[in-house]
Chains A and B, each alone.
Chain A
């Protein structure tokens, strides 16, 4: 059974500093996703990582994938208040649209 673990579960950030969220998964995966969720809202897709060594960046967020270590990281550079949200990683290893999610990392950026 595929398991996805994120850490930390909660991250209190100071504006301007850098932080990393980690996502480990237990079996070979076809794709790894990062999503953002604001309170009471749906999931917003941030990144899709398809292959070993993949790195994607959008603004202050950068995601990378190491398939050998079964590890993905989401790096936040110079955190700002607007990045406060819950971040989920998810893995898709079935022949279809079936995601297994990590437990989420709640991020709170304080001024």
Chain B
């Protein structure tokens, strides 16, 4: 059974640019959540999508957005990148009442 796939694995962007990250959940899972991990703030919840609808949202500015497609794949977008957006971005897929499984993450560096 394939796991959670995140692409790309590494990304370097310049301040002011925008970036799109992708997450393909485990087959059959309809929930995808996104997290940001930084040394200073730890692991923080960004948002969750379920059946193409945002179901939960964390405390991040509007520059962070996401969406989910009919095949449950999800994308998150960060616009007007800031240095502080440099982080490991993790997505987690879950189905029904199963536990959350995490992808390998996308390491974003903003220069």
Contact = CB atoms under 8 A, between A and B. Distances in A.
Given A33-B99, A41-B104, A96 B56 contact: yes
B66 interface: no
B64 interface: no
B43 A97 contact: no
For the residues of A in contact with B, the DSSP-based class is strand
Nearest to B4: A42
Interface of B: 31-33, 35, 42-45, 48, 50, 55-56, 90, 92-94, 99-105, 107
A42 B90 contact: yes
A104 B55 CA distance: 26
B50 A96 contact: yes
A98 B33 contact: yes
Contact of B45 (A40, A99, A103, A104): A99
For the residues of B in contact with A, the DSSP-based class is strand
Contacts, number: 59
A65 interface: no
Contacts of B107: 40
19 contacts: A31-B99, A33-B99, A35-B102, A41-B104, A42-B90, A42-B102, A42-B104, A42-B105, A44-B102, A94-B56, A95-B55, A97-B33, A97-B94, A98-B33, A98-B56, A99-B33, A100-B45, A103-B42, A104-B43
A42 B32 CA distance: 16
Contacts of A41: 104-105
B99 to A, nearest CB: 5
B92 A97 contact: yes
